[in-house]
Amino acid sequence: MKVYKTKDIRNVALVGSAKSGKTTFTESMLFHGKVIHRKGEVESKNTASDYRPIELDKGNSVVTSVLHTTWNNHKINILDVPGSSDYVGELITALYAADMAIMTVNAANGVEVGNEIAWRYASQREVPVMFTANFMDNENAKFDDLIQQLRTYFSDKIIPAQYPVEIGPGFKAIIDLVLNKMLVFDENGTFEVQEIPESEKARAEKMHLNLVEAAAEGSEELMEKYFETETLTLDEVRQGLNMGITSRAIFPLFVSSAKKDVGVSRIMEFITTSATAPHQATPVKTTDDEEIPCKEDAPFSAQIFKTSIESHLGEVSFMKVFSGKVKEGQDVINANSGNKERITQLYVMAGKNREKVPEAVAGDIIATIKLKESRINITLNDTQAGDRQIKPLEFPNPLYTTAIKAANSSDDEKMGAFLQDIVNMDPSLSLEYSKELRQIVLRGMGEQHINNVKWVFENVHKIPIELYTAKIPYRETITKPAKATYRHKKQSGGAGQFGEVHMLIEPYQEGKGFQKEFPVRNTDEHELNWGGKLIYNSCIVGGAIDGKFMPAILKGIMEKIEIGPLTGSYARDIVVNIYDGKMHQVDSNEVSFKIAGRMAFSDAFKKAGPKILEPICDMTVIVPEEKMGDVMTDLQGRRAIIMGMEGQGIYQHIKAKVPLAEVAKYSTALNSLTSGRAFYTLKFAEYAQVPADVQDKLLKEYEASQNEEG
């Protein structure tokens, strides 16, 4: 395939709601660019984008497909992004690699949740956006009302670049306000340029002037020209639109019917003349906050933004070339590890189809295989670029938590290896082998996201797995001082076991001293891996316990702290004072004092006003104003404390502190409550004491589980 220059490359992410026609739109773009010779259909399961077994089974996009097409001597790289909120990780990676987003909106349904999510992330990354009102051939399609809705939800800078002459099944003619002409499309998607009919001239002239004025605002030079002549040439309009789109001062709106091939080829033409080019986009930054200009004649730097397993290829690494050039067979440096990698082959992708290229330049999106350390966020450099690292992509905290295990224990090892591979390819998933909870914990963006992992295991790897409720990482501590004594004595012929420990425990509070009842002779302070502290004081006088046994007592205490006396959770923030004891000249040993220390600690703990602490999270729920009451009521039923509310446009931001136990699977409930229009963020804040009734319930549940195991 031809190697394109940076100025002739465009990178677009097709974003929007599920069922807004993104995959069909992509299919039409590939067809017009002659990358494919026959358009596939989602219903027939033969599109270039949705080719993976899971997508064919579920009937919708699950993974971002990387494709390309050509038009007007330009290469257009396309990232077809799934529309569900569960796949926000795919959206983030696509917006990172793209220089502009094309937002597809279903003209019959109006703004949907997928549009809102895509707009939110595009705004955060300051990615330029253009819109297309798709399905204009639907009998329920709207245009004027849709413009108002888009401006209400997103921006008053949305401006029509086209409008339909007729809406509904007869949709085939478009008034193009950039060209100031009427475009009439045939059944092959080819358009004929005609003069605007008399019946549309007044409306077209008014809307054309609005567009030209918006384009003129792209630069002072164009604005001066517009004030002087009250018009701009077509090239000047294109120039102004390009600058306005790139700076996010303009969000042009087009119309289309991807299924009928109406409008798509004209949008492709607009992309080549007016969309943001790679060298015009905001330069990527290194971890040292230095910008890397997108230039061909510069040191080579690229970043892997996506990996996947492709049939007949194995693991494929997709990378965006941010600077310089890379050639097939070139050695590069993994800036994250310092190791060398060989670029054995370079491909441009069109879904499952691929084509080899000898070289890729700054701004291009390319695929390669057989990298030894192929991971998302890895920077690849040539020797001139050295060890500079491009800032990594950041993903939101997972919202849905479940425990996972193989249905057959013999599959445990295979399941673990495959799980790690899946998480490496999808950083919006997280995996934890929790020693504390004695579970494998998998976290994702929603129930559908997690169920897809289950589908892959059972249909691809042929390993049945079980998903079940993940435990909550509670903590145990005490509220008052307490004493306990324990004597461990065992005689069974020969040397016996003997150790006696007298212990006072008390709550630890930062900055506060210890009980004065016993003089402290030696103190060990231990920062616990799970948070909080253990202070271990030796108050022994007169050699009641030999100093060599003090570490054994501590070891016994640590064993019990790791499996707390109340619920088996980690204990924390405790001061232990060993103030007396007894030993035997022959029978005392480390094992005896370890057991005595563990048992004395457990006894004292239960007398010391024990309490259970639960993880509390800071939550922000972003919800349409009309759904706020329902969400607030639901949150209060989850023991949430509302910290405040803030209005932003048509949304309310509800800030709350909420127990993790109440929201481990909140995403499903919130989707149901708001028809998928709300979303939330969750971040651990602190541990706090559970209410008495909750503690009683947890104690009974733990006791019952212990009885079952016993």
Residues 102 and 155 in one domain: yes
Q: What is the pLDDT of residue 541?
A: 86
- Structural domain contains residue 388: no
Q: What is the pLDDT of residue 351?
A: 85
Domain of 430 in residue numbering reads as 400-471
Looking up tokens 């990615």 gives 127
Q: What is the pLDDT of residue 710?
A: 52
pLDDT over 80 at 312, yes or no: no
Nearest CA-CA partner of 618 in 657, 567, 671, 575: 657
Q: CATH no. for residue 672? A: 3.30.70.240
- Structural domain contains residue 703: no
Residue 414 pairs in a beta bridge with none
- Structural domain contains residue 178: yes
Residues 271 and 129 in one domain: yes
Q: What is the DSSP letter of 470?
A: P
Residues 626 and 647 in one domain: yes
Residues 187 and 213 in one domain: yes
Q: What is the pLDDT of residue 650?
A: 80
pLDDT over 70 at 562, yes or no: yes
Looking up tokens 């597809």 gives 104
Confidence of residue 649 (pLDDT cuts 50, 70, 90): confident
Task: State the Cα–Cα distance between residues 137 and 139, nearest whole angstrom.
Answer: 6
Residues 91 and 193 in one domain: yes
Long-range contacts formed by 82-85: CB under 8 A, 24+ apart: 82/18, 83/15, 83/16, 83/17, 83/18, 83/19, 83/20, 83/22, 83/114, 84/18, 84/60, 84/114, 84/446, 84/448, 85/113, 85/114, 85/117, 85/445, 85/446, 85/671, 85/676, 85/679
- Number of domains, the chain: 5
Question: Beta-carbon neighbour count of residue 525 at 10 Å?
Answer: 11
Nearest CA-CA partner of 367 in 381, 356, 380: 356
Confidence of residue 374 (pLDDT cuts 50, 70, 90): confident
Percent of residues, the chain, with pLDDT higher than 70: 99
Q: What is the pLDDT of residue 493?
A: 66
Residues 156 and 15 in one domain: yes
Q: What is the pLDDT of residue 678?
A: 87
Pick the range with the lowest mean pLDDT from 5-19, 511-525, 626-640: 511-525
Residues 289 and 431 in one domain: no
Residues 6+ away with beta carbon under 8 Å from 424: 307, 375, 376
pLDDT over 60 at 282, yes or no: yes
Residues 600 and 621 in one domain: no
Residues 495 and 618 in one domain: no
Check if the beta carbon of residue 357 is closer than 8 Å to that of residue 368.
no
- Structural domain contains residue 700: no
- Structural domain contains residue 486: yes
- Structural domain contains residue 496: yes
Check if the beta carbon of residue 315 is closer than 8 Å to that of residue 369.
yes
Q: What is the pLDDT of residue 323?
A: 97
Q: What are 476's two structure tokens?
A: 């145990």
Pick the range with the lowest mean pLDDT from 198-202, 301-305, 326-330, 674-678: 674-678
Residue 582 pairs in a beta bridge with 500
Q: CATH no. for residue 328? A: 2.40.30.10
Q: CATH no. for residue 44? A: 3.40.50.300
Residue 144 pairs in a beta bridge with none
Q: CATH no. for residue 572? A: 3.30.230.10
Confidence of residue 648 (pLDDT cuts 50, 70, 90): confident
Q: What is the pLDDT of residue 513?
A: 67
Q: What are 251's two structure tokens?
A: 């969000």
Check if the beta carbon of residue 250 is closer than 8 Å to that of residue 242.
no
- Structural domain contains residue 701: no
Check if the beta carbon of residue 164 is closer than 8 Å to that of residue 50.
no
Task: State the Cα–Cα distance between residues 236 and 251, nearest whole angstrom.
Answer: 17
Given 413, 441, 471, which residue is the final one in a domain? 471
Q: What are 334's two structure tokens?
A: 């993994």
Residues 90 and 178 in one domain: yes
* Mean residue pLDDT across the chain: 93
Q: How far apart are the first and last CA of the chain?
A: 68
Residues 415 and 482 in one domain: no
Residues 559 and 657 in one domain: no
Given 280, 310, 343, which residue is the final one in a domain? 280
Confidence of residue 612 (pLDDT cuts 50, 70, 90): very high
Span 326-334, mean pLDDT? Answer: 95
Q: What are 457's two structure tokens?
A: 């295991």
Check if the beta carbon of residue 485 is closer than 8 Å to that of residue 501.
yes
Check if the beta carbon of residue 107 is closer than 8 Å to that of residue 138.
yes
Given 558, 593, 609, which residue is the final one in a domain? 609
Residues 6+ away with beta carbon under 8 Å from 475: 530, 531, 532, 564, 569, 570, 571, 572, 612, 613, 614, 687
* 173-215 pLDDT, tens digit each: 999 999 999 999 998 899 999 999 999 999 999 999 999 999 9
Question: Beta-carbon neighbour count of residue 389 at 10 Å?
Answer: 18
Span 123-140, mean pLDDT? Answer: 97
- Structural domain contains residue 390: no
